[in-house]
Amino acid sequence: MAKAFLQDKVAIAGIGQTSFGKGIEDSELSLGCQAISMALDECGIAPSEVDGTASFTMELNREVDIARNVGFGDVTFFSQVGYGGGAGCGTILHAAMAVATGQCRVAVAWRARKRAAKASRPWSQVPARLDDHWMWSRPFGLLRPVDEVAMLTRRYMHEYGATRDHLANVAIAFRKHANRNPNATMREKTLSREQYMEARWISEPLCLFDNCLETDGALAAVLVPAERAKDLPTKPVYVHSAAQGIPPQHQTMINYFNEDPLLGPSWAAAGQLWGGSEFKPDDVKVAQIYDAFSPLVPLSLEGYGFCGRGEGAEFTNDGALEWPNGRLPTNTAGGGMSEAYVHGFNLVLEGVRQMRGTSTSQVENADSCLVTSGEGVPTSALLLRN
Amino acid sequence: MMEAKLLLPDVEEENGAPFWAGAARDELLVQACGACGNWRFPPRPMCPHCRSVETKWERASGNAKVWGFVVPHPPLLPAYAELAPYNVIVVELDEDPTIRMVGNLLASPDGALNEIDPSTIEIGEPVRVVFQKVDDVTLPRWVRA
Ligand SMILES: [Zn+2]
């Protein structure tokens, strides 16, 4: 079979991240510039060499402002990927395609966010009248992302017998990994099953610990052609395969208006992802799965083929997501629920660390890592290799 | 009659306007393709089955079943926080279960969002539409059938 065009052509050569926290004083622009600057320094590339950018449509820092601060040269490719948490892996995909096709030679992808800022929580603002797709859900009190995902979760529980114990498996696994990660927001706070079961509701059937954190911070990655990455001081991590996904008749977040709402964007991305890959799900020993909400993890496990449909909840049993002995240690830095919630971009960087061998919960002999972005929204995914 | 500052739809938005106008007459209207007749919701310009832009509106019976439900708790926008915990349901229409709508389950046609004990709500239970006026907008909501 012919090798997919993108396969291993581009490497992530540098990564950088600010500290994570709440109420960090630096502006979003400053945070973004700092993360990009660190990523460039790590791999020894001058800012003047950067000629490609990719970020989120929800990113408030414009390319021109980043470029004017960090000191980019002529930028010949700039892209933004939509749909919030669905965009993270997509920014790497866009950057990698641009590098692979010669539209640019050094691309940076980043996400900077101050979650405390009101503008970063769109649901908290009251418009005069709703005139977009939210008019069919929000007037009835389905206001927040957690409410929208809770609806799918209720249905998922009903159809497949998933329980809160399964969701607790997810939250507890990620917290254990965060407890081993000095950069994680929740490094000092353990989470027991009892604490999970007694936590306050946010939107039944989801409780506090089914939700991601709210984090200020920024992260960035530098992408270069594979041949160049071999000459840089960092260990290259290759973009082995990547995909975006929108399934038929999908609506972002309120995906109730089609024949099979539980067949989400992961399924749409999976075919392209594995089709371009030499690895299959059984070969993958570690994963970073987008976890704005715990139920997105079993849904994604199903969508990306780690188990059959309806088996994602059961998959989480017996510590399957936990380092070091689980079948698929997942979100090994703590993920959005326990490390930081920077729209899933921290999952990309943890995937890179796993492939470098530098995670604080390093999976031995892992030669590929799945990274996914938001399930329940138009999504994207990466398969990284070392 | 009801709570101030709930989020409300723009009833003049061009795709949805006939739906909201129907609701104001206590009619649950569903957009149907003018060519192939398939129903679609939420309303939009083109039929994804046959790509016709001809549209008609057909009156649904208002009989449906609960497809899913949630019970939001604070933090919420103030008008909703006052009611919390309340229920939000998704119903599937009897005529075509792939036509689903978000709404609320009420104890009575003029009831509030928080009067039903959420632990009694069951997926699959039959409901029927009722209409509630909020400011100048009429919202379809649901009671047990
Ligand atoms: Zn048609």
- Structural contact between residues A352 and A223, judged by C-beta atoms closer than 8 angstroms: no
Residue among A148, A131, A127, A259 at smallest CA distance from B20: A131
Show which residues of A are catalytic: 290, 341
Is the per-residue pLDDT at B68 higher than 70?
Answer: yes
pLDDT for residue A336: 98
pLDDT for residue A124: 64
| Distance between CA atoms of residues A84 and A63, nearest Å | 17
R_g of chain B, CA atoms, integer Å: 16
Check A256 against B90: CB less than 8 A apart.
Answer: yes
Q: Which fold has domain A10-116+218-385?
A: Peroxisomal Thiolase; Chain A, domain 1 (3.40.47)
The first and second tokens of residue A76, run together, are 């010949």
Res. B2 pLDDT band, cuts 50 70 90: very low
| Distance between CA atoms of residues B144 and B83, nearest Å | 20
In chain A, the percentage of residues whose pLDDT exceeds 70 is 97
Is the per-residue pLDDT at B4 higher than 90?
Answer: no
Residues 6+ apart with CB under 8 A from B116: B87, B105, B106, B107
Check B98 against A126: CB less than 8 A apart.
Answer: no
- Structural contact between residues A152 and A295, judged by C-beta atoms closer than 8 angstroms: yes
pLDDT for residue B1: 41
Q: Using CB atoms and an 8 Å cut-off, which of residues 76-135 of chain B contact chain A?
A: 76-77, 80, 83, 85-86, 88, 90, 98-104, 113, 118, 123, 134
Res. A128 pLDDT band, cuts 50 70 90: confident
B19, B47, B90: best mutation site toward chain A, by most A Cβ within 10 Å? B90
pLDDT for residue B3: 43
| Distance between CA atoms of residues A60 and B105, nearest Å | 39
In chain A, the percentage of residues whose pLDDT exceeds 90 is 95
Residue of A nearest to B6 (CA): A139
Which CATH code is given to the segment(s) B61-145?
Answer: 2.40.50.840
The rounded mean pLDDT for chain A is 96
- Give me the helix-helix angle, A164-178 and A296-303, nearest 10°: 90
A134, A140, A146: best mutation site toward chain B, by most B Cβ within 10 Å? A140
Res. A125 pLDDT band, cuts 50 70 90: low
Mean pLDDT of B50-67: 98
Check A204 against B76: CB less than 8 A apart.
Answer: no
- Structural contact between residues A214 and A292, judged by C-beta atoms closer than 8 angstroms: no
Mean pLDDT of A105-129: 79
Element (H, E) at A356: helix A345-356
Is the per-residue pLDDT at A110 higher than 80?
Answer: yes
What angle is formed at CA B49 by the lines to CA B44 and CA B50, rounded to 5 degrees? 95
pLDDT for residue B86: 98
Is the per-residue pLDDT at A302 higher than 80?
Answer: yes
Query: Helices (H) and strands (E) in chain A — how many of each?
Result: 12, 11
Task: Judge if pTM exceeds 0.90.
Answer: yes
Residue spans of the domains in chain B: they are: 14-59, 61-145
Is the per-residue pLDDT at B52 higher than 90?
Answer: yes
